[in-house]
A and B are shown apart, each in its own frame.
Chain A
Amino acid sequence: MTQATVTAPSAAASARGTRSTSRATRHTRSLGGRGVHQRRSILLTIVMSVMVVYALFPLFWLFVSSTKTQSELLSSFGLWFSGDFSLFDNIAQTLSYGNGEFVRWFGNTLLYVVVGAGGATLLAALGGYGLAKFNFPGKKGVFAVVLGAVAIPGTALAVPTFLMFSQLGLTNTPWSIILPSLISPFGLYLIWTYALDAVPTEVLEAARMDGAGEMRTFFTISLRLLTPGIVTVLLFTVVATWNNYFLPLIMLSEPTWYPLTVGLNQWNAQSQTVGGDAIYNLVVTGSLLTIVPIIVAFLFLQKYWQSGLSAGSVKA
């Protein structure tokens, strides 16, 4: 709690301010924590290296495998390069196979991510801010319903959602993927806790004195103060939509609207089927192409989402 009051003014500052303060906190802390008898430990570093190797070697395997031809893939040692370097050849084949269906799936995934994750973030930002900064009739009910819904397993809902959507004629359309993606209870919770401290009530009062409407205040002032929290929610909803598999699997019966995940799985299932066109090299290369954008996004936006997460956990 002490910490919450200490970080509150910094959270109220811009994203940049929050980040530099959290770095400062860390600095003081490592001075205080390290002390005399705590030196950097080689043993601990080695133990942790084992964990990092465990986390990263499958990705290395994926990259190495993407550089192999189909026959090399099936015959050579998995964790090192072998034969011709055919990464670019594989990529070209992946993009053109089946009349370029991979490109189509990539476009679908982008659509679901932009509309689904973007919309989910906007709704969570608006809603979380509303919960943090306003008192309104039914607020307690909103809390109870949203918290209760978090406990319901998402996939348990998938079958009933499918049945309902098929009654409404929404299955086999992009809406069947986008609509459920628009709700992120975790995002709502994160923005709500973040907005409590990041948007000072005095600022809102001042804007009201100036006669600004609530929505205008939100989009011109509050949104900027909420940026680290919003980037965090955006990243996690992007991951959730980019990686979504179960929902599109049941909602879509034709490949036209498949996202990458379902498409890749179909390529794999086809390869495993007797008499099917075995395209393991394309499954592997397609997998690599699927994860590259999302990993790049995570690496580049590290600073944002890590500060956003820390802020969220103050209240957790």
Chain B
Amino acid sequence: MTTVSQDPTAAVAPRLGRRPAPHKAKRDWTGWKFIGPFMLIFAFVLIAPVVYSIYLSFFKDQLVGGNSFVGLANYIQVLGDQKFWESLGRVSIFLVVQVPIMLLLALFAALAIDSARLHFPAFFRIGIFLPYAVPAVVATLMWGFMYGVRFGLVANINDFFGISLPDPLSNAWVLASIGNIVTWEFVGYNMLLFYAALRVIPTDLYEAAELDGANHFRVIRSIKLPALRPAIVIGTIFSIIGSFQLFNEPNILKPLAKNTIVTSFTPNMYAYNLSFSGQQYNYAATIAIVMGVATAVIALIVQNRGSRKEV
């Protein structure tokens, strides 16, 4: 059992003593044969666009004078842009409400499936996960049709019970309706993330807990939740990134809710519409950078706090 250790060099050490393999030489570039192709394309599709958009954000296309260097003017404009702040506020509310609900549901489902107290656990696992395989476009179109008050399910329910439910696409409800679509799409993915982490908890921990007479909730609190912490941190970070990038669902719902989903509904929609309807590429690039930095900072804070508590 100890032959394969965590440190790959440990197992090789004795052999190395006999005959130093060439690939272990001081400057061995063999690894680049493997990582090289990835890094080449990575540089082209990830690093280059970042550098390019930073460059763009310092320029402005003006009617008089053409393309000229403006320093931080675009950034100052973003900070004073009410549409930007409104869109950021919207995704922040979304983040604070939707993400906890989704992660708690996912956590509950993962613990239930792992508990061995459920009938047909495999069915529940795949059933709840399945929506993840559905494209955001199809998910949003489906829910959008069902939300419809004219001929969707909401209309059916209203007719049947003779009541009038609020319009899911009205101003007051549209964010919650989008939250529901996103929850539906990703609750199973997060559940699987948590479930995979639960699966690798060593069995002897449970046996010890049972000998100590710990009940089910005690096991969850003392063994399972601490073991889940890294997975919860990852799930939270992915969800924060997802919320700040919110685009697909509101953009696809837009034709159904023309008056409630404005072109600057989320920061991403704002940047998109600035580029493709307004041709304001420099300003759009600036917004993309501001959002990228904001997301990265918040993700780092969550990661640090998440791992600090672990120690």
Residues of A within 8 A of B (CB): 1-9, 12, 22, 25-26, 28-30, 32-35, 37-42, 44-45, 47-48, 51-52, 54-56, 58-59, 61-62, 65, 73-75, 77-79, 123-124, 126-127, 129-139, 142, 145-146, 148-149, 151-164, 179-180, 182-183, 188, 196-197, 200-202, 205, 208, 214-215, 218, 239, 242-243, 245-246, 250, 260-262, 264-265, 268-269, 272-273, 280, 283-284, 287, 290-291, 294-295, 297-299, 302, 306, 309-310, 312-314, 316
Contacts and interface: CB of A to CB of B under 8 A. Distances in A.
B210 A157 contact: no
B126 interface: yes
Nearest to B53: A160
Contacts of B300: 151
Contact of B276 (A30, A38, A133, A250): A250
Interface stretch (B22-30, B77-85, B170-178): B22-30
Interface in B107-124: 109, 112-113, 115-120, 123-124
Q: Specify which of A4, A30, A139, A160 lies most central, judged by the most chain B CB atoms within 10 Å of its CB.
A: A160
A265 B135 CA distance: 11
A169 to B, nearest CB: 15
A214 B184 CA distance: 45
Given A44-B117, A48-B109, A160-B49, 14 more contacts: A5-B1, A5-B4, A26-B199, A33-B206, A35-B210, A52-B127, A149-B46, A153-B244, A156-B295, A159-B288, A264-B137, A268-B255, A298-B133, A312-B196
Given A160-B285, A162-B275, A3 B200 contact: yes
Interface string B122-144: 01101111111111111101110
Given A123-B37, A146-B42, A136 B141 contact: no
A265 B141 CA distance: 8
Contacts of B118: 40-41, 44-45, 48
Nearest to A181: B45
Nearest to A37: B215
17 contacts: A1-B6, A5-B1, A33-B219, A34-B116, A51-B128, A55-B130, A58-B184, A65-B145, A78-B153, A131-B35, A153-B291, A153-B292, A159-B288, A162-B275, A182-B41, A188-B38, A245-B135
B137 A161 contact: no
Given A33-B115, A135-B28, A284 B145 contact: yes
Contacts of A163: 49, 52-53, 56, 275, 281, 285
Contacts of A302: 126
B63 interface: no
Contact of B53 (A124, A159, A262): A159
Contacts of A35: 210
Interface stretch (B8-16, B65-73, B92-100, B161-169): B8-16
Interface of B: prevailing SS: helix
B35 A130 contact: yes
Interface string B212-240: 00011001000000000011001001000
Interface of B: 1-6, 8-9, 11-12, 15, 21, 23-24, 27-35, 37-39, 41-42, 44-50, 52-53, 56, 105, 109, 112-113, 115-120, 123-124, 126-139, 141-143, 145-146, 151-153, 156, 160, 184, 187-188, 192-193, 196-197, 199-203, 206-207, 210, 215-216, 219, 230-231, 234, 237, 241, 244-245, 247-248, 252, 255-256, 268, 271-272, 275-276, 281, 284-285, 288-289, 291-292, 295-296, 299-300
Query: Which 5 residue pairs across A and B have the least CB separation, nearest first?
Result: A130-B34, A134-B31, A136-B31, A160-B53, A127-B38
A159 B285 contact: yes
B128 A55 contact: yes
A272 B135 contact: no
Contacts of B119: 40, 42, 45
Contacts of A130: 31-35
Nearest to B109: A51
A294 B115 CA distance: 29
A2 B202 contact: yes
B8 A133 contact: yes
Given A58-B146, A159-B285, A269-B255, A151 B296 contact: yes
